[in-house]
Structure 1
Amino acid sequence: MKVLVAGAAGGIGSAIVEKLLKDGDHVITISRSGEPGSTHCVADLSRPESVEQVKAFVGKFAPFDAVICCTGILHGGWNMPEKSLSQLSMDWLQQNMLVNVQTHVHLAQAVEPLVKRSAPIKWVSLSAMVGSIEDNALGGWYSYRMSKAALNMFIRNLSIEWGRKAPGCVVVAQHPGTTESALSEPFQAGIAEGKLYTQEQTAERLVSVMKGLSPEQNGRLLHWDGSVIPF
């Protein structure tokens, strides 16, 4: 397979790249860091101007079999998930929307010219179970939950549009499970035994589900095992 991985420098993203390469797949990567190379683009997908930059880069590799977007944020510096309404600030909410939603939108806009009836793709955006409105019984984490719910709606819309444009496309959001990484580190103490997964475990699961995606899953929010999570 020829697979584009965005957010390739992160914990899960880098593990996915390693898994794909181990499987013998052709991998093209995008991240904000690293050295530009023949198959690596250094771009900040949160910025609108990245669309044209990435469009020019990915056009050299068309067609793709799959795209996996791993970009996201949960905490940063003094900003942590909110426990109450009083902790919710518009600046942090906007930052969550920028990184957790706009990066995926910009990548899709860059890739869209490559999506054709003769070249449908599999698209996976890493989302989160806490973005499910129906599953939310605990509250809190306002900015993160709201941004992931918005990402899930974007994926639903995209699945419909690309499904019409190129029947055979499968566009999904996926919850990777709680994975050992800088993103989850502040919250690992409260995770039940056996529910914190290594980056290698998560990558193997995500790649396996991606390769096995079927049209029936188009537009869904999936668990790491491929089962459906309600929106």
Structure 2
Amino acid sequence: MPGAVNFRDVGGLPAGTGVTRTGVLFRSGTLARLDSVARAAIGGLGLRRVVDLRDEEEARAEPTVLEPAVGETVRVPLFLGSVASFFERDMSLHDLYAHMIDESAPRLVSVVRAVVETQPVLVHCTAGKDRTGVSVALTLAAAGVDEDAIVADYARTASTLSPERNRRIVEWLRRVHPDARHLEELATASPAHVMREVLERLRDAYGSPVDYLRASGLRDDEIVELRRVLVAQR
């Protein structure tokens, strides 16, 4: 997908005796610089919904450019606080994800619910790494996808971000936040152990990731429907 950042289908992941369906749930980073070939290719996926996890400022700075045939856009700004504030506070990925889990539970449920309601669906943010990574991981966990596969899908992101993109962003951020210790990790990394820690934290506090979502309002019938639409039995 020329111009797309970190675009992929999450089909083919093991889920107990089943596997996630292809062509149902997609994830991505920014879609502001797509060329005509990529726009046509994404238009051909039959997307009925795009879930945009960015705040208003980010969306204005990099508006999504898709074919008119792509369905509705649902806005779920996932961070409480601006992206810049996390660099200013020099948060680690561990800290950032803990913040998301603790402060944005109703919004995370809204993302999962948006996937349940309408497919095919694309979930995206700016890099497709943190907000998209956590919300897609929770969606997959609620659908019964194997934990190792969830962690591997999250960790795959780092290999999809180009070295040139990473160099350019890190250099710019260093000029703005010269003393930030966690800057490069926050901007470019998706280490497997960080996502495994998120899932372990949810098990310790709630019993499981899906119980965390239940505690924040996701209904059992929605979980059943998510598993029906996202997982095919083998």
TM-score interval for Structure 1 and Structure 2 normalised by the shorter chain: 0.3 to 0.5
TM-score (norm 2): 0.32
Q: Which has the higher contact order (CA 8 A, sep 6+)?
A: 2
The structure where helix makes up a greater share of residues is 2
